[in-house]
């Protein structure tokens, strides 16, 4: 783990109270925090300074958060975690499609946001290291991509090819949300995108085969948005939608 | 019915006309026979025209022609010697027949035309009446439809307002809640905060809880206004004291800006409900705190407005309210550009001030910021 003070995080929100709370929490964990209260200010800062994570409120007064995601993605790969007070799943999906990496719904718990930040930072490191790991691991789950074999605590789990592809896709970025469309297109093919009922069926099969605890599943459903794979026993494992034990 | 019309009410009847005409011919002949030797032959000739006219009027063309022939015969038999014999004096008889028939035809034609005209007029009148009735029905339906449309539009508007209110309220409530939840969930983590940070976070929770309290107070006022239950309990209010108390209460909002209070010594007392006015001033101050740039000054002052008003002004150095939005700013759910408020606060201000018989307006301040001016009636001892 690198020194967290080297980690530069930009928090963008027009509510001073949120900036104060999130800023204090991140600083106390050792991260270096910068803040912006408008979209223009955020874009301006992001152009001039190297950043490791951007926490972005979608409801800014000057620019739509989704538009900011789109503009940032024109030249930056910095992970973006969007904050939204809206329950509208559509906005979340649009933000993810526009380039956001993850989302947290307000009111959020700080541990949940911190877990998302850690996931984003880990992916950023992994993306620069070796993206093609032959064996993926999430907790006691091992996914051998080369041999299409999955073991759970050392015991072989029998999966169909589609189930395997579904699981391997999520395991490549543990903790990160994948939208329905992303999963359908990666596993079923580019012609798919709206057949979320397939995903429900396969997710339920996978949970059964992996012996998921319904209260703390490995395969977490983000209603209306998609799925993420977490390690229920790991440090970010409780980073589910409710964000707390 | 309308005015008396000088037309025959009945259709001409040839049979009746002929009988009436012939009866008159007989009558005229009987009446004139005793004097036929003393008078000119022109008299019976003229008198015998009358039955033709009568027949034409009552019976139409056919009756007129038939009676004309009868008149001619009577004239020949009774008034042209030798009397009683049908001696034909070609010239005189021909003249009589032609004149009488022509008169009969003319009268009959006129009567027929009149009858036709009357029929047409009646048909037109009937058609007009029907049209009129239909028009009235359509008109009534139209009015009913219009009424229903208006009612629907009003309902829709109320519905929209409700939805807007719910949306803005949930947004308003969630923002402070989000800060509180974020801080509280973090403090539970037993993280090593330094004392200053911990204090700041606890302050933050208190501030956001107070903000929630103000939102709830505004919502209660809103429902009171909607129910028409906003009745000011008037008393003498010293605006300088009220403003000073209000600023003290909201001190947490004014950490970044300076508030300057400047009231003349002899400012008249306002006639107002203290707690309602406190809410008005609080909302305007909160608004100013939100838009004022850091380290700027918010100026609160008052002045007498002769003859019987007193004004309170609150001016910030923020971006101000554009001219075209200065009226709209007080409409419910009107949110200025860049606003994160619900747009309920200023609407409540207006409702309260107007319930006092006062006025509220926003104008451009000296530095281009927003200057809110509230005028209220002066308290009479």
Q: pLDDT tens digits for chain B (381 residues)?
A: 444 445 555 667 888 888 888 898 888 888 888 888 877 778 888 888 888 888 888 888 888 888 888 888 888 888 877 777 766 666 777 777 788 788 878 887 887 788 888 889 999 999 999 999 999 999 999 999 999 999 988 888 878 877 777 777 777 788 889 999 999 999 888 788 888 999 989 999 998 998 888 888 888 887 888 787 778 889 999 999 999 999 998 888 888 889 999 999 999 999 999 989 999 999 999 888 888 888 899 999 999 998 899 999 999 998 888 888 887 788 766 555 445 455 678 888 988 998 899 999 999 888 888 999 999 999 987
- Residue of chain A with shortest Cα separation from B205: A17
List CB contacts (< 8 A) between B176 and chain A.
Answer: 17
pLDDT at B191: 81
Q: For residue A155, which of A168, A145, A174, A141 has the smallest C-alpha distance?
A: A141
Asked if the Cβ–Cβ distance from B174 to A15 is below 8 Å, we say no
Q: Which residues of B touch A109 (CB under 8 A)?
A: 181-182, 185-186
Distance from CA of A243 to the nearest CA of B (A): 10
In this complex, which of B178, B185, B186 lies closest to A18 when CB atoms are compared? B178
Q: What is the pTM of this model?
A: 0.61
Q: What is the pLDDT of residues A85-137, one digit of tens each?
A: 766 778 888 888 888 999 998 889 999 999 999 999 988 777 655 556 677 88
Residue A49: CA count within 13 A, CB half-sphere: 20
CA-nearest residue to A38 within chain B is: B338
Residue B79 in contact with residue B41, Cβ under 8 Å?
A: yes
**Cβ B182–A27 below 8 Å, yes or no?**
no
What's the average model confidence in pLDDT over A147-160?
88
**Rounded distance between C-alpha atoms, residue B7 and residue B5, angstroms:** 6
Compare B115 and A43 and report the one with higher pLDDT. A43
Kindly indicate the confidence band of residue A237, based on its pLDDT and cuts at 50, 70 and 90: low
The answer to whether B352 and B230 have CB atoms below 8 angstroms apart is yes
pLDDT for A22 equals 95
* A145 vs B303, higher pLDDT: B303
Contact list, A112 vs chain B (CB under 8 Å): 185
Quote the pLDDT of residue B359: 93
Indicate if the pLDDT at residue A170 is higher than 60. Answer: yes
State the nearest Cα–Cα gap between B267 and chain A, in angstroms. Answer: 37
Contact indicator for B96, B74 with CB cutoff of 8 Å? no
Which residue in the set B171, B182, B204 is minimally distant from A85, CB to CB? Answer: B171
pLDDT at B331: 76
**Separation CA B334–CA B184 (nearest Å):** 33
Q: Do B207 and A17 touch (CB under 8 A)?
A: yes
pLDDT value at residue B338: 47
Evaluate if residue A199 carries a pLDDT over 50: yes
CB contact under 8 A, B189 and A29: no
What DSSP designation does B79 have? I
ipTM of the complex: 0.72
Determine the angle formed by the axes of helices A89-97 and A65-73, rounding to 10 degrees: 20
Residue among A24, A83, A116, A236 with most chain B CBs within 10 A, to mutate: A24
Per-residue model confidence (pLDDT) at position B298 = 93
Burial of A208 (0-12, 13-18, 19+ CB in 10 A): exposed
Decide if B175 and A243 are in contact by the 8 Å CB cutoff.
Answer: no
Region of A224 please: left (phi>0), alpha (psi -120 to 50) or beta. Answer: left
- Among A113, A229, A123, A144, residue whose Cα is nearest residue A178: A229
Nearest chain A CA: its distance from B262 CA (Å): 29
How many residue contacts between A and B have a Cβ separation below 8 Å?
80
Q: How far is A61 from chain B (nearest CA, A)?
A: 4
Cβ A19 vs Cβ A35: under 8 Å: yes
User: Strand locations in A78-190, DSSP E?
Assistant: 80-84, 102-105, 135-138, 141-144, 149-152, 155-157, 178-179
Please indicate whether residue A230 or residue B8 has the higher confidence score (pLDDT). A230
* Rounded distance between C-alpha atoms, residue A148 and residue A138, angstroms: 16
Whether B174 sits inside 8 A of A108 (CB atoms) is: no
CB-CB: which of B179, B191, B197 is closest to A18?
A: B179
The angle subtended at Cα A76 by Cα A70 and Cα A79, nearest 5°, is 85
**Residues A212 and A219 sit within 8 Å (Cβ to Cβ):** yes
Task: Decide if pLDDT at A239 tops 50.
Answer: no
What's the pLDDT at A19? 93
Range A40-64 average pLDDT = 91
What pLDDT, on a 0 to 100 scale, did the predictor assign at position B98?
Answer: 82
Dihedral sign of CA atoms B125, B130, B133, B134 in order: negative
What's the burial of B71, exposed, middle or buried (CB within 10 Å: 0-12/13-18/19+)? Answer: buried
Nearest CB to B185: which of A18, A29, A110? Answer: A110
Would you call B337 and A14 a contact, using CB atoms and an 8 Å cutoff? no
For residue B172, give the chain A residue with the closest CA.
Answer: A85
Distance from CA of A162 to the nearest CA of B (A): 39
- Tell me how far CA of residue A11 lies from CA of A42, A150, B48, B71, in angstroms: 8, 39, 121, 122
To the nearest whole percent, how much of chain A has pLDDT over 70? 89
Distances (CA, A) of B62 to B9, B25, B105, B107, B114: 19, 16, 8, 11, 16
Phi and psi at residue B339, to the nearest 5°:
-80, 145
Chain A residue numbers touching B175 (CB-CB < 8 A): 15, 17-18, 85, 106
Residues of A in contact with B286 (CB under 8 A): none
Q: Is B171 in Cβ contact with A110 (below 8 Å)?
A: no
Q: Determine, for residues B338 and A61 on separate chains, whether the beta-carbon distance falls below 8 Å.
A: yes
> CA A10, CA A32: separation in Å to the nearest integer?
9
Per-residue pLDDT at A55: 96
CB contact under 8 A, B204 and A111: no
Given a contact cutoff of 8 angstroms between Cβ atoms, the answer to whether B300 and B260 are in contact is yes
Chain A: residues touching B (Cβ < 8 Å): 14-15, 17-18, 20-22, 24-25, 27-29, 59, 61-62, 85, 106-113, 243-244
Whether residue B257 contacts residue B292, with contact meaning beta carbons closer than 8 Å, is answered with: yes
The verdict on a CB contact (< 8 Å) between A27 and B340 is: no
Phi, psi of A53 (to 5 degrees): -150, 145
CB-based contact A107 B186, cutoff 8 Å: no
CB B312 within 8 A of CB B323: no
Question: Do A109 and B182 lie within an 8 Å CB cutoff?
Answer: yes
- Strands B370-377 and A32-36, how do they pair? unpaired
**Coil, helix or strand for B193?**
coil
**Quick one: pLDDT at residue A46?**
92
Q: Which helix (H) or strand (E) holds B226?
A: helix B195-226
In this complex, the residue of A17, A24, A106 whose CB is nearest that of residue B208 is: A17
CB contact under 8 A, A108 and B178: yes
Q: Report the pLDDT value the prediction gives residue A3, as an integer from 0 to 100.
A: 66
Q: Please indicate whether, in this complex, the C-beta atoms of A62 and B338 are within 8 angstroms of each other.
A: yes
Distance CA B66, CA B76 (A): 15
For A10-18, what is the mean pLDDT? 91
Task: Find the helix or strand (DSSP H, E) in which B126 lies.
Answer: helix B90-187
Instruction: Closest CB to B197: pick one of A24, A108, A243.
Output: A24
Task: Indicate yes or no: CB of B192 within 8 angstroms of CB of A28.
Answer: yes
Residue B23 burial class via C-beta count within 10 angstroms: exposed 0-12, middle 13-18, buried 19 and up: middle
Question: Helix B345-355 to helix B274-291 angle, to the nearest 10 degrees?
Answer: 150
Is the distance from CB of B44 to CB of B51 less than 8 angstroms?
no
């Amino acid at each position: 783990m690198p020194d967290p003070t080297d980690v530069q995080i930009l928090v963008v929100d027009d509510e001073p109270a949120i900036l104060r709370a999130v800023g204090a929490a991140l600083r106390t964990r050792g991260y270096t925090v910068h803040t912006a209260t408008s979209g223009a200010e955020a874009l301006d800062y992001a152009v001039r300074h190297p950043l490791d994570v951007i926490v972005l409120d979608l409801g800014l007064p000057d620019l739509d958060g989704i538009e900011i995601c789109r503009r940032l993605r024109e030249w930056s790969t910095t992970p973006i975690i969007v904050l939204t007070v809206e329950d509208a799943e559509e906005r979340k999906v649009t933000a993810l499609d526009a380039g956001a990496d993850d989302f947290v719904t307000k009111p959020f718990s700080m541990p949940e946001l911190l877990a998302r930040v850690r996931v984003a930072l880990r992916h950023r490191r992994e993306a620069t290291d070796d993206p093609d790991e032959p064996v993926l691991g999430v907790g006691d789950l091992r996914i051998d991509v080369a041999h299409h074999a999955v073991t759970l605590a050392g015991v072989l789990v029998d999966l169909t090819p589609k189930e395997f592809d579904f699981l391997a896709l999520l395991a490549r970025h543990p903790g990160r949300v994948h939208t329905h469309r992303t999963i359908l297109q990666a596993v079923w093919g580019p012609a798919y995108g709206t057949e979320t009922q397939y995903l429900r069926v396969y997710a339920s099969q996978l949970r059964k085969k992996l012996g998921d605890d319904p209260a703390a599943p490995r395969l977490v459903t983000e209603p209306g948005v998609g799925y993420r794979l977490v390690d229920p026993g790991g440090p970010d494992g409780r980073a589910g939608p409710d964000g707390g034990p | 019915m309308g005015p008396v019309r000088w037309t025959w009410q009945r259709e001409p009847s040839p049979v009746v006309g002929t009988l009436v005409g012939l009866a008159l011919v007989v009558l005229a002949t009987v009446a004139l026979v005793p004097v036929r030797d003393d008078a000119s032959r022109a008299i019976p000739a003229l008198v015998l025209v009358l039955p033709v006219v009568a027949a034409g009027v009552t019976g139409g063309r056919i009756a007129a022609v038939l009676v004309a022939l009868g008149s001619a015969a009577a004239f020949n038999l009774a008034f042209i010697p030798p009397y009683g014999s049908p001696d034909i004096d070609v010239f005189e008889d021909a003249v009589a027949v032609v004149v009488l028939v022509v008169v009969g035809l003319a009268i009959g034609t006129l009567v027929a035309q009149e009858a036709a005209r009357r029929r047409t007029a009646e048909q037109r009148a009937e058609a007009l009446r029907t049209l009129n009735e239909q028009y009235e029905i359509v008109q009534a339906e139209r009015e009913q439809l219009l009424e229903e449309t208006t009612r629907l539009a009003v309902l829709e508007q109320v519905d929209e307002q409700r939805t807007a209110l719910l949306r803005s309220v949930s947004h308003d409530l969630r923002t402070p809640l989000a800060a509180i939840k974020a801080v509280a969930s973090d403090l539970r983590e037993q993280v090593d905060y330094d004392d200053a940070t911990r204090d700041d976070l606890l302050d933050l929770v208190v501030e956001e809880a107070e903000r929630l309290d103000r939102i709830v107070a505004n919502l209660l006022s809103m429902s009171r206004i909607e129910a028409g239950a906003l009745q000011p309990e008037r008393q003498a209010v010293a605006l300088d004291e009220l403003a000073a108390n209000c600023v003290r209460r909201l001190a947490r909002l004014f950490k970044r800006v300076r508030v300057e209070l400047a009231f003349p010594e002899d400012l008249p007392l306002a006639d107002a409900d203290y707690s309602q006015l406190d809410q008005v001033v609080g909302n305007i101050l909160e608004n100013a705190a939100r838009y004022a740039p850091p380290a700027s000054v918010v100026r609160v002052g008052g002045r007498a407005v002769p003859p019987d008003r007193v004004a309170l002004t609150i001016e910030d150095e923020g971006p101000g309210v554009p001219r075209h939005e200065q009226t709209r700013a007080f409409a419910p759910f009107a949110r200025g550009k860049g606003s994160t408020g619900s747009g309920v606060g200023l609407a409540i201000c207006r409702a309260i001030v107007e319930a006092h018989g006062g006025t509220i307006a926003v104008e451009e301040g000296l530095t281009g910021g927003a200057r809110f001016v509230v005028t209220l009636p002066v308290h009479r001892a």
